[in-house]
Amino acid sequence: MKYSEASCRHVAELLVAGLCEKNLVRLPQEKRATVVTRMVATLLENFRQEEAIEKEAERLAEEHLRNAPPGMDRHRVVQMIKQRLAEEKRFSL
């Protein structure tokens, strides 16, 4: 998955604005940009980690499917491996 910094920034700005509007978070105007920047960095890092797990799952699925009987659903195998890798790394998908 590819996520641009611009789309992450847009989402972060919407989240901060929404939380502030509903008085769930109180931030001075000058601190909002700092919070948005940190949220963008966190979102991008999360997407990078998920991408790494996806690539590892693809690689492991390829190895597994070489010896598997014909007709196994490749997508399902990848998803199961991805889920297991995420659990091992305590990563929430």
Q: Over the stretch 4-15, which tens digit does the pLDDT of each residue have? A: 999 999 999 999
The amino acid that residue 4 corresponds to is S
> Is 46 in contact with 70 (CB distance < 8 Å)?
no
pLDDT for 26-56, tens place per residue? 999 899 999 999 999 999 999 999 999 999 9
For residue 48, give the amino acid letter: R
Higher local confidence (pLDDT), 72 or 9:
9
For residue 87, the model assigns a pLDDT of 94
Would you list the domain boundaries of the chain?
Answer: 5-88
Contact 3, 43 (CB under 8 A): yes
pLDDT over 70 percentage in the chain: 99
Q: What is the mean pLDDT of residues 49-69?
A: 91
